[in-house]
Amino acid sequence: MLAEINSIADLTAQYPTEKDICHLLMDEDLLHKTAKCDKCGNNMSLRSRGSSYEWRCRVSKSQDCSSKSIKYGSFFKNTKLTLTQATKVMVMWSCQYTSSQISKEVGISERTTCDWRNFLREICQKTESTYGKIGGNDHIVEIDETNLHSRKYGVGKGTNEDWIFGGIDRESGKVFMKRVVNRSASVLVPLLQANVEKRSVVYSDEWRSYSQLKRYFTDHYTVCHKTQFINVVGTRRVCTNGVESMWSRLKKPFKAANGTSSALLDSYLSEFVCRENEKDDFFQSVINGMKIS
């Protein structure tokens, strides 16, 4: 199983050749297992070509009717990378190696690595769009906003200040996160309703946009960060430590990479949300998003 591979050493030991990788990707439904000839409609056969395979429709021993790439109709159809190289990129990216580590190990340009990371984050965006609301009956959902500084794409100097709004369900650990144009109630409240079950109990700080949340959710409690870390209300210990530690997990890689481009921020947020929500199944969820339809 590809999702169980979590190092290049494992991959190389278990699937040493390009052909081994081909069969692995076929078993995972990342490559087609059969092909039909575009000219005559007959079933094509898998033939060796160099270190890899291609699909061929044979008329006779010496003549082909047609041939097509092993990558046809797959996520890999437009890449010049070998399947081994592409698989290495996927494994390393899922293990959160940096772009320069990936480029060096796989022997590809940083530009190509960057393109691949973009493709893979697009899969996360699709996966994220399938997620339902977080929270539920008496689930506590902590919410908060934070800002991120990102580089403006194609502009030499200056940074954007992007406000990010998000929440975490204490029961399930599931999160949501969105970039917002401002922190007004008219922006935050509808987003909250779209992403958090109304039967949830919401914890937040005392930001004024949150003043009416009792109307929309089972209950709402606040903690005043100027004076306290925890607001004790009966048996409840109201705090937003969960969402604050989510922000520090979000920001860590941005700090390491010295910020990110504002244009790519949404896809970085999607990748983060998928990693948080899928946990150990993250790589499998990306593989599922790459399957041939």
Q: Of the listed pieces 15-23, 58-66, 218-226, 243-251, which binds Zn ion according to CB under 5 A? A: 58-66
- Report d(CA 44, CA 34) in Å as an integer: 7
Q: How far is the CB of 44 from Zn ion (least distance, A)?
A: 7
Q: Does 124 bind Zn ion (CB under 5 A)?
A: no
Which is closer to Zn ion, CB of 47 or CB of 249?
47
Q: How far is the CB of 104 from Zn ion (least distance, A)?
A: 43
Q: How far is the CB of 52 from Zn ion (least distance, A)?
A: 21
Which of the 8 DSSP states describes residue 152? P
Is residue 283 within 8 A of residue 276, CB to CB? The reply is: no
Q: How far is the CB of 69 from Zn ion (least distance, A)?
A: 15
**Contact pattern from residue 90 through residue 119 relative to Zn ion, giving x for each residue in contact according to CB under 5 A and a dash for the rest:** ------------------------------
Among 1, 13, 40, 233, binds Zn ion (CB under 5 A): 40
Q: How far is the CB of 40 from Zn ion (least distance, A)?
A: 3
What is the CB-side half-sphere exposure of residue 217 using CA atoms within 13 A? 31
Among 37, 192, 201, 286, binds Zn ion (CB under 5 A): 37
Q: How far is the CB of 80 from Zn ion (least distance, A)?
A: 26
Q: Of the listed pieces 6-14, 41-49, 69-77, 189-197, which binds Zn ion according to CB under 5 A? A: 41-49
Q: Does 58 bind Zn ion (CB under 5 A)?
A: no
Interior CA angle at 146 toward 145 and 148, to 5°?
Answer: 145
List CB contacts of 243: < 8 A, sequence separation 6 or more.
142, 143, 144, 166, 167, 168
Q: Does 286 bind Zn ion (CB under 5 A)?
A: no
Q: Does 67 bind Zn ion (CB under 5 A)?
A: no
Which of the 8 DSSP states describes residue 280? G
Is residue 106 within 8 A of residue 88, CB to CB? The reply is: yes
Cα dihedral: 80, 85, 90, 92 (round 10): -140
Q: Does 24 bind Zn ion (CB under 5 A)?
A: no
Q: Of the listed pieces 32-40, 76-84, 163-171, 232-240, which binds Zn ion according to CB under 5 A? A: 32-40
Which of the 8 DSSP states describes residue 199? T
Among 3, 8, 46, 65, binds Zn ion (CB under 5 A): 65
Task: Report the SS3 class of residue 80.
Answer: coil
With DSSP H G I counted as helix, E B as strand and the rest as coil, what are the percentages for the chain, rounded to 5? 40, 25, 35
Q: How far is the CB of 83 from Zn ion (least distance, A)?
A: 24
Which is closer to Zn ion, CB of 59 or CB of 95?
59
Q: Does 35 bind Zn ion (CB under 5 A)?
A: no
14-to-7, 10, 20 alpha-carbon distances in Å:
11, 6, 8
Q: Does 192 bind Zn ion (CB under 5 A)?
A: no
Which is closer to Zn ion, CB of 19 or CB of 58?
58
Residue 6: closest CA among 120, 97, 68? 97
Residue 75: closest CA among 83, 66, 67, 63? 83
Q: Does 39 bind Zn ion (CB under 5 A)?
A: yes
Residues lying near Zn ion in the complex (CB under 5 A) are found at: 37, 39-40, 42, 57, 65
